[in-house]
Structures are given as structure tokens and as C-alpha cells.
Amino acid sequence: MRVLILGGDGYLGWPTAMYLSSQGNEVCVVDNYFRRFACVEKDVPSLFDTPNLFERARHWQEVSGKEIMVRIGSVADYPFLLDVFHEFKPDAVVHYAEQPSAPYSMLGHSEARFTLENNLLSTLNVAYAVKETDPSIHIVKLGTMGEYGTPNIDIEEGFIDIEHKGRKDRLLFPRQAGSLYHTTKIQDTDLLYFYVRVWGLRVTDLMQGPVYGIFTEEMGGDEDLFTVFNYDEIFGTVLNRFIVQAVAGVPLTVYGKGGQTRGYLNIKDTLQCVGLAIAHPARKGEMKIYNQFTETFSVNDLANAVQRAGKDVGIDVEIKSVPNPRVELEDHYYNPVHTGLLDLGLEPTLLTNNIVAKMLESVIRRKDEIRRDIIQPKTQWN
Ligand SMILES: NC(=O)c1ccc[n+]([C@@H]2O[C@H](COP(=O)([O-])OP(=O)(O)OC[C@H]3O[C@@H](n4cnc5c(N)ncnc54)[C@H](O)[C@@H]3O)[C@@H](O)[C@H]2O)c1
């Protein structure tokens, strides 16, 4: 297949590009380097330096013999995006190209405005580019489990059957975001669902939980193929942050009571899930929604897992509750359904002691490069 990956320079985008390329697909990646610029602007570097997309694609071709086409530009720039669609003629488009950080979206008005404009405009442009060039192109969109929030009922996979005053309907599951970033993801879902109903587009919306992990098979230990790895309070996700904190000798920053529970997955499973979504496309006028995670953990569970694995690699890990900068429930019911991707064949990579220990060992080799000053949470929700 011909797969266009929007946001192909990112934490998930680049590993996805290599994964789909290694499976024999023709791959084109698009990125405007927003994430790289934002990390420079906010002074929150990745633990690993990553070559730019052209260098990465050249190196990938040397080691795999397979070509990945690169186009640099913004998905929010419609004429540019349309040119890419006309040139590459994708069968499927994977849309990762968004501002993905909840804290970034809460920094202030300019970051909030950027998040809103960038995320909604990029999604609108993808819908239009598909309609203009070939409405049969399957859109695989990355949403987030954070769209649902933490309701006091079980979370279904995208839709819920409701009986109200004697009548029945199947509607989008109620959404309740915990940050402006998550609000834009809800609006993306609404936008795409609207065009699915009106134009008959084919969309799969993946409600993904926080991702952890450093390595995928395609990297094979080759540092020039590594993906960006942030551990700061803006772009780092919780388990990746805990791993670096443990190695740096900083007490793990549990926000408040630490009972916040979410569905997590290994970066290797993100690739599997996206691959499965592409292989089982939505029909014309259908919006498929999958809850994309493999296991649920509370923040305390994750901190304890890192502390346990720390013992195996000779690190004494301290855990400390810090005042919660976010507005969120710290103790709540959480039971989301996640059978859709398992039914398609997802083989989960579970968070074993061994996996945590391996992550710790990889970071230990970079211990001297860790910036301790970017670890503590600073961005307040109110
Ligand atoms: N990483 C996670 O834990 C996680 C969890 C749930 C959902 N997601 C979603 O998955 C997607 C990818 O996340 P990620 O962690 O790889 O983030 P990332 O920031 O590493 O990747 C996104 C990429 O998109 C690019 N980008 C942003 N706006 C763009 C634009 N207008 N035009 C072109 N490129 C643009 C960025 O430069 C970046 O390289 C995001 O949509 C995010 O919301 C991620």
C-alpha cells in the first residue's frame, strides 16, 4: 500500500514509517519540525539527538534498501498538503501531525491558540485533501483515551447505545477532556465524524493511551534510527519520565495521590495497532473507533514498577508525591473496553519487570546527559 504519514518526524511517526516501510509499503513522511522547534524554544531537549528526516530516510535506505519519501511543510498549509496528496497518491493516511502535549496547551494564550489552530486546521485539511483527491483514501487518525476523561461508568469503544425516555440510539461516547490539548482531540473526532456522515469518508480514530518505550525492532540498536525521547514536564509521558528520574537520582514525581489511572501501551504496540487499522479499513461512510492501549495502571503502579526494576539494575529509587499541577481526579473509577484491536490480532507487549529494567539500562548509558532542571512540573492548570 501507499501510506502517507503526517507528523513523520515525531516520537511515533518515525518508528511507524520504518515499521510500515519494512513491511513492504511505499511510505511518504511529512513534517514541519514543529516538535523540534518547540523543544528548542522551551529548552527541553530530547535525551537522544535525532538526525533530520532527510538524513534518517537516507540512513534507513542504506540499512534496509527501502526508500521513504520526505516532504517538509505544514499540514495546516492546505496548498502544500494538496500537492503532497496529488504527488504521492496514498491509499491510507496516518495523521499524527498535531501538537501532542497537554501541558504545552496549558502554558498560556499563545500556546493554547497554536494548539487549537494547528490541530483543528490540520484535521480539516486532511478531510478536504482526501475529498478533493480520492475519497476512498482511508484516514487513520490518532486520538487519545483522554478524550473520554474519567467518567464514573465503563468507557465503551467510541460509541454507546443509549435508551432515553423509551427511545434508543447509538451515539458517540460522552467526552470530557482534562486539558485544552485533549479538547482539540475531541473536536477532531467531531470534525471527522461530521465529514464521514456528510461526505462518506472512511475514518479510523484510534483513542490511544500514553505510550512508553524507546526501542522498536526496526531501530535494531542503531542510534541514527532512534526516535525523539523527551523526559521533561512538557513533552515527556509519565513512564518515560519516571525512567529518567530514576536514573538521575531524582525522586519520582507522583502528582498528588497518584491514583490517576489510564490505559498504557508500549511504542511497539502503537506500530502494531496502526498497522492493523490500515489492514482493516473503515468502509465508505464508516467511522471506526478503537481504544488503543494494552494495560491500565495508576501513577502509583508505574512508580512502584520502576522502583522494583531499579533494584534489578542496582538503583535505589525514591518516590515522592508533589503538588498536582493539573486539575484532575486523583482517585477514581476507570474501566475502559479495549477488545477491538485484540480482535484484529494485536499481540500485547506487556510491562514486565524486564522491559522496565531494559529501559533503565539504556538511559543509564546517557546518565551524564540528563538535564535535571527540566524534570519538575511547572505548568499549572489554573
Ligand atoms: N505519545 C503519546 O503518548 C500519545 C498518546 C496518545 C495520543 N498521541 C497522539 O499521537 C500523535 C503523535 O504523537 P507523538 O507523541 O508522536 O508526538 P510528536 O510531537 O513527537 O509527533 C507529532 C509530529 O507532528 C509534527 N507536526 C505537528 N504539527 C504539524 C503540522 N501542522 N504539520 C506538519 N507536522 C506537524 C511535529 O513536528 C511532530 O514531529 C499525536 O497526534 C498525539 O496527540 C500520542
Tens-place pLDDT, residues 302-323: 999 999 999 999 999 999 999 9
* Rounded distance from Cα 315 to ligand 1 centre (Å): 32
- Please report the atom of ligand 1 found closest to the CA of residue 211: 3
Q: Distance between alpha carbon 140 and the CA centroid of its chain, in Å? A: 13
Question: 329: pLDDT confidence band, cut at 50, 70 and 90?
Answer: very high
Q: What is the pLDDT of residues 273-312, one digit of tens each?
A: 999 999 999 999 999 999 999 999 999 999 999 999 999 9
Which of 141, 185, 268, 288 is catalytic? The answer is: 185
Assess whether 185 carries a catalytic annotation: yes
Give CATH for domain 2-374.
Answer: 3.40.50.720
pLDDT in tens, 154-188: 999 999 999 999 999 999 999 999 999 999 999 99
Phi and psi torsions of 94, nearest 5°: -100, 120
Q: Taking CA 294 as the corner, what is the angle to CA 293 and CA 298, rounded to the nearest 5 degrees? A: 85
Given 144, 150, 216, 227, which residue is catalytic? 144
Residue pair 18/60 in contact by the 8 Å Cβ criterion = yes
Convert 163-183 to b/e letters by CB count within 10 Å (16 or more is b).
eeeeeeeeebbebebbbbbbb
**Annotated catalytic, 168?**
no
**What is the DSSP-derived secondary structure letter of residue 250?**
P
pLDDT of amino acid 377: 97
In the chain, domain spans: 2-374
pTM confidence score: 0.98
